[in-house]
Amino acid sequence: MGTQRTGAAGAASRIQVSRTGRPAPAPRTGARAPHCASPSSGLPLDEIIVGDCIAALEKLPPESVDLVFADPPYNLQLENVLTRPDASLVDAVDDDWDKFASFADYDAFTRAWLLACRRVMKKTATLWVIGSYHNIFRVGAALQDLNFWILNDIVWRKANPMPNFRGKRFTNAHETLIWASKSPDAKGYTFHYEALKAGNDDLQMRSDWFLPLCTGEERLKDAEGRKVHPTQKPEALLARVILSSSNPGDVILDPFFGTGTTGAVAKKLGRHFIGVERDSAYAAAARARIAAVQPLAGAAVAAPPARRAEARIPFLSLIEARHLTPGEMLFDERRRHRATVRADGALALGPAIGSIHKIGALAQGLPACNGWTFWHAERQGRLIVIDEFRAKLRAAMEA
């Protein structure tokens, strides 16, 4: 099978590679892309490499990518034609790229591509793999055998799954994503805990995600209205993956690019991508799709501040550092509420004693309150939010 980096320079440097045991896709046309390789990094940034991913990844520099998203063949092992009760054919995944002679063959392939990804992952990089019950347990075992460290498994619960037409099994209504770091002791990987929580009504983001399949406008169709790719993933799923575990400007590798969902979402969110896809028609569809994507404005995607990295300052420290005096009053911005600073670092509101947050919430009759932004101290007739004192203290500590 030939591996061809697309783009002006890439087309000229066609590299012949071969891998045993995998069927070659029918040659197709249309594999061209703008050449966006970064001369400084030596990486084919925002390009689609047409060819076998294991061979293609060998050409990339070691420790060069920040995130991997892999949607590999599932090895669905469909033995019979699937039909609906009205005898119409189900558009199942029966493509050559999903067929393997045996589980042993599939395992060898899985280990080979995982090792190829591992070599190009930075020490801080993480890897996502999506799969179904057909393959995900085998992938999970391979990850652990290869010394990756599983951080989470995410259940993507499908809002609109395909029914079990024969009524012989449960509706297969989810897929599983495994998220893993490069090794058990890998430190410093990206996880935007606070931002995910903020987007989830201030509750920790859970490991079960409820999202619809890719349908409607988002689903790529050919001139005859047929699906361009049988397993195009929803952009919302990729957005959650990318937003949670990468930063703007990061390089995201997808070794099984298909119609380029990873690339489309990466571009929209201000990340770079490197895609590898063995089928040039899928690659061409991906390229056209990504070209039409408008990146979001910087402010919409800027990396959230790493709040967990900031030193924690207890309210009592403001008193100890003499920014506040026991016995003085704190006020809300419009002086509707007032509370007394106690020597022990609590606030008093009538008979109630509690933290700045608890007393702030009580004063307003709300379930929760951020006391740091709610309470103000009076200095020379002006109200100063107490978060300013905390910032001064933090700056002094960091200095």
Ligand X SMILES: C[S@@+](CC[C@H](N)C(=O)[O-])C[C@H]1O[C@@H](n2cnc3c(N)ncnc32)[C@H](O)[C@@H]1O
Q: How far is CA 14 from the centre of its chain?
A: 32
Q: Which is nearer to ligand X, 278 or 390 (CB)?
A: 278
Contact between residue 386 and residue 376 where contact means Cβ atoms under 8 Å apart = yes
Q: Which is nearer to ligand X, 6 or 261 (CB)?
A: 261
Q: Cα(256)–Cα(244) distance, rounded to whole angstroms?
A: 21
Q: How far is CA 267 from CA 25, 186, 246, 287, in A?
A: 27, 27, 13, 12
Return the DSSP state at 313. -
Q: What's the closest the beta carbon of residue 18 comes to ligand X, in angstroms?
A: 12
Q: Which is nearer to ligand X, 52 or 250 (CB)?
A: 52
Q: Which is nearer to ligand X, 124 or 132 (CB)?
A: 132
Q: What's the closest the beta carbon of residue 248 comes to ligand X, in angstroms?
A: 22
Q: Which is nearer to ligand X, 66 or 279 (CB)?
A: 279
Q: Cα(143)–Cα(260) distance, rounded to whole angstroms?
A: 24
Chain residues binding ligand X by CB under 6 A are 22, 52-53, 71, 73, 97, 229, 231-233, 256, 258-259, 261, 276-279, 282
Reduced to 3 DSSP states, what percent helix, strand and coil does the chain have, rounded to the nearest 5?
Answer: 30, 20, 50
Q: Which is nearer to ligand X, 76 or 349 (CB)?
A: 76
Q: What's the closest the beta carbon of residue 345 comes to ligand X, in angstroms?
A: 52
Q: Cα(344)–Cα(329) distance, rounded to whole angstroms?
A: 15
Q: Which is nearer to ligand X, 231 or 317 (CB)?
A: 231
Q: What's the closest the beta carbon of residue 257 comes to ligand X, in angstroms?
A: 6
The answer to whether the Cα torsion of 262, 268, 271, 273 is positive or negative is: positive
Q: What's the closest the beta carbon of residue 179 comes to ligand X, in angstroms?
A: 16
Q: What's the closest the beta carbon of residue 279 comes to ligand X, in angstroms?
A: 4
Q: In the sheet that 15-16 helps form, which strands lie side by side, from edge to edge? A: 15-16, 2-5, 47-50, 272-277, 251-254, 65-70, 121-131, 174-181, 149-158, 208-211
Token pair, residue 298, equals 């910087």
Query: Which positions ≥6 away from 191 have C-beta within 8 Å?
Result: 244, 245
Q: Which is nearer to ligand X, 47 or 279 (CB)?
A: 279
Q: What's the closest the beta carbon of residue 227 comes to ligand X, in angstroms?
A: 10
Q: What's the closest the beta carbon of residue 378 comes to ligand X, in angstroms?
A: 58
Q: What's the closest the beta carbon of residue 163 comes to ligand X, in angstroms?
A: 21
Q: How far is CA 246 from CA 23, 270, 302, 353, in A?
A: 34, 10, 11, 42
Q: Which is nearer to ligand X, 231 or 247 (CB)?
A: 231
Phi-psi region of 350 (alpha: psi -120 to 50; beta: other; left: phi over 0): left
